[in-house]
C-alpha cells in the first residue's frame, strides 16, 4: 500500500503497463509470424504447387514459376510481411481472399474458446483451491484423477462420449426453450447473420465480465460481500436480457444450441464444443492452483491469519489464494496453445463451422495461404490471452506492474 502512495500520479498504472506490454506483444507476434512463415515454407513437405506433381516434374516447375514459388525465400518473406501489414493474407485455393474465409470461421472459435477458457479457469481454480487446502486423502485423490483425465483425454473420444450422452438432453432443451428442432427454420427469414449475432454476444459478454470485475472491486473496497457474490451473475443476466431486448434472443440461443439432429451423433453445436473445451482445460488449471496453494500454505502469514481468529475459508480465500493466483495464472497460460489445438479437434469432430473447418480444409487441399492465415489467427488469440493474463497478474501483484515481467 505504501509503495503505491509514493508514486501517485494521475495516470492509472495499467496505461503504462499495457503500453509496454503492447510493444512487447508486437515484437513477439513478429517473431511468431516469421517462425510460422519459415515453418510452412521450409519444413512443411507440400506447397501450393504439389497437386501439379501429378502432371510430371515439368508441370510442377511451371506451377512453381506461375505461383512465384521459385523466387528466393527472402523475397517471398518480404511479400508476406508487407501483405500482413496491409491486412492482406493472399488468396485461398478456392479463390476467396483468406481474410474473408477467416472472418467467416474465426468468430465462433474465438468466442467459444474465450468463454470456455474463462469457465474452465473458474472451475479449475475452485477445485484446485479446495484440493490444495484440504488434505483429505479421498478428495485429493479423486481431484487428482479428475485433473489428470482432463489433461490427457483424447479429444475425439471425449466428443464421442459427450455427444452420446448429451445429444438427447440438448434436443429436449431446445424444445423446452421453444426452439424448432431444425435450425434452418429460424435463419431462413431472419434479418441477421449468425456471425453478427455472435459478435453481439461476444461484445455483451465481454462488457458483462468487465462490469462484474469493476463491481467486485467496488464491493471489496466497501466490504459488501453479497455484492461481490452477485456481481457476475447479475451482469451476465443483464447481458442476456439486453440480447433478448435487441430482438435476437431466439437467434442467439440457436447459435449456441444448434444441432444437426439428423445425424447419429450431435453435431454442429457450439455448446458441445464449449463443454468439451471446459472438460479438457480445467485439469491443467487445477494442478497449477494446487501447486500454488501447497507452496503457500506453510507460510508464516497463514499462522498469523489463523491466530487472528479468521475462519479457515477466510484464511484460504483472502490470504493464500491471492498469493497463489499469479503463478497459477502464468502457468495456466502455457497450456493455451495445447488447448486451442484440442478445441480445433473438438470442432472438427462436431463439424462446427469454425477455425477447424478452415484449418483442416487448408491442410487437405494443401492450401498454403489459408494455412498461414489460420496460424496467424491462432497466434493472435494466443497473444491476446497473454496480454489479458499479464494484466490480471499485474493487478494481483503490484510488484509486477513496474518491473519487467
Partner 1 sequence: MTIRADSPLRDDASRWTLLRSNRKIQAALFLLAFFLLAIVAHPVLQATLWADAPSTYDPATGYDTQIVHPSGPSAEHWLGTDSLGRDVFSMFTYAARFSVTVALAAGVAIGVTSLALGSVAAYRRGWVDGLITHLSDAMVLLPALLAVYVLGVGASSETFGALEVGLSFGVLYGMGPATGAVRAAALGVMAKPFIDAGRQMGAGGLWLVSRHVLPHLVPHAAVQAMIGVTGAVIAEAFLAFRSGVGDDVGFGYLIYEGLTWQELFAGVLATPWWIMIAGATGITLIAAGFYLFGVGLREVYDPRTVGTRR
**Positions that interact with partner 1 (CB under 8 A):** 27-29, 31-32, 35-36, 39-40, 43-46, 144, 148-149, 151-157, 160, 164, 264-265, 287-288, 291-292, 294-295, 298, 326-331, 334, 337-338, 340-342, 344-345, 359, 363-364, 371, 375, 378-379, 382-383, 386, 393, 405
Provide, rounded to whole angstroms, the least separation between the CB of residue 309 and partner 1. Answer: 26
For the record, the C-alpha cell of 235 comes out as 451482469
What is the CA 70 to chain-centroid distance, rounded?
38
The three-class DSSP label of residue 60 is helix
CB closer to partner 1, 158 vs 235: 158
How far is residue 91's CA from residue 245's CA, in Å, rounded to a whole number? Answer: 40
97: which strand partners? 91
Are 48 and 93 contacting, i.e. CB atoms less than 8 angstroms apart? yes
CB closer to partner 1, 98 vs 197: 98
Provide, rounded to whole angstroms, the least separation between the CB of residue 151 and partner 1. Answer: 6
How far is residue 168's CA from residue 147's CA, in Å, rounded to a whole number? Answer: 27
CB closer to partner 1, 197 vs 378: 378
Element containing residue 350 per DSSP (H, E): helix 336-350
For the record, the C-alpha cell of 392 comes out as 490480471
- Give me Rg for the CA atoms of the chain: 24
Provide, rounded to whole angstroms, the least separation between the CB of residue 235 and partner 1. Answer: 29
CB closer to partner 1, 243 vs 359: 359
Provide, rounded to whole angstroms, the least separation between the CB of residue 290 and partner 1. Answer: 9
CB closer to partner 1, 179 vs 340: 340
In 59-214, the DSSP E strands lie at: none
Provide, rounded to whole angstroms, the least separation between the CB of residue 313 and partner 1. Answer: 24
Q: Count of CB atoms within 10 A of residue 306's CB? A: 14
End-to-end CA, the chain: 20
**Which DSSP state fits 95?**
S
CB closer to partner 1, 140 vs 249: 140
Are 109 and 354 contacting, i.e. CB atoms less than 8 angstroms apart? yes
Q: What is the dihedral of CA 311, 313, 317, 318, to 10 degrees?
A: -10
CB closer to partner 1, 194 vs 379: 379
Provide, rounded to whole angstroms, the least separation between the CB of residue 216 and partner 1. Answer: 23
Are 21 and 390 contacting, i.e. CB atoms less than 8 angstroms apart? yes
Amino acid at each position: 500500500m505504501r509503495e503505491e502512495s509514493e508514486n501517485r500520479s494521475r495516470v492509472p498504472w495499467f496505461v503504462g503497463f499495457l503500453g509496454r506490454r503492447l510493444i512487447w506483444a508486437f515484437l513477439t507476434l513478429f517473431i511468431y509470424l516469421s517462425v510460422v512463415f519459415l515453418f510452412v515454407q521450409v519444413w512443411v513437405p507440400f506447397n501450393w504447387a504439389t497437386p501439379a506433381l501429378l502432371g510430371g516434374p515439368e508441370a510442377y516447375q511451371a506451377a512453381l514459376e506461375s505461383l512465384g514459388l521459385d523466387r528466393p525465400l527472402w523475397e517471398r518473406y518480404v511479400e508476406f510481411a508487407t501483405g500482413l501489414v496491409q491486412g492482406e493474407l493472399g488468396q485461398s485455393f478456392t479463390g476467396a481472399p483468406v481474410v474473408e474465409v477467416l472472418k467467416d470461421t474465426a468468430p465462433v472459435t474465438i468466442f467459444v474458446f474465450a468463454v470456455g477458457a474463462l469457465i474452465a479457469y473458474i472451475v479449475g481454480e475452485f477445485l484446485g483451491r479446495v484440493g490444495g487446502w484440504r488434505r483429505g486423502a479421498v478428495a485429493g485423490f479423486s481431484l487428482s484423477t479428475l485433473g489428470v483425465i482432463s489433461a490427457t483425454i483424447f479429444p475425439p473420444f471425449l466428443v464421442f462420449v459427450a455427444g452420446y450422452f448429451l445429444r438427447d438432453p440438448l434436443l429436449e432443451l431446445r424444445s423446452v426453450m421453444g426452439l424448432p428442432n431444425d435450425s434452418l427454420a429460424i435463419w431462413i427469414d431472419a434479418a441477421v447473420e449468425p456471425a453478427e449475432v455472435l459478435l453481439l454476444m461476444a461484445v455483451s459478454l465481454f462488457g458483462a465480465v468487465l462490469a462484474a470485475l469493476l463491481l467486485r472491486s467496488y464491493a471489496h473496497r466497501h466490504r459488501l460481500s453479497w455484492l461481490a457474490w452477485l456481481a457476475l451473475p447479475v451482469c451476465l443476466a443483464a447481458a442476456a436480457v439486453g440480447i433478448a431486448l435487441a430482438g435476437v434472443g431466439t437467434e442467439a440461443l440457436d447459435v449456441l444450441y444448434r444441432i444437426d439432429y439428423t445425424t447419429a451423433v450431435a453435431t454442429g453445436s457450439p455448446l458441445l464444443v464449449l463443454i468439451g473445451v471446459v472438460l479438457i482445460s480445467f485439469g491443467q488449471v487445477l494442478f497449477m492452483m494446487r501447486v500454488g496453494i501447497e507452496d503457500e500454505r506453510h507460510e508464516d502469514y497463514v499462522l498469523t491469519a489463523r491466530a487472528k481468529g479468521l475462519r479457515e475459508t477466510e484464511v484460504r480465500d483472502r490470504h493464500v489464494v491471492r498469493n497463489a493466483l499469479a503463478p497459477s495464472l502464468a502457468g495456466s497460460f502455457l497450456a493455451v496453445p495445447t488447448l486451442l489445438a484440442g478445441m480445433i479437434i473438438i470442432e472438427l469432430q462436431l463439424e462446427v463451422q469454425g477455425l477447424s473447418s478452415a484449418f483442416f480444409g487448408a491442410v487437405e487441399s494443401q492450401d498454403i495461404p489459408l494455412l498461414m492465415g489460420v496460424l496467424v489467427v491462432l497466434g493472435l488469440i494466443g497473444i491476446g490471452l497473454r496480454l489479458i493474463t499479464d494484466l490480471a497478474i499485474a493487478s494481483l501483484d503490484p510488484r509486477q506492474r513496474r518491473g519487467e515481467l
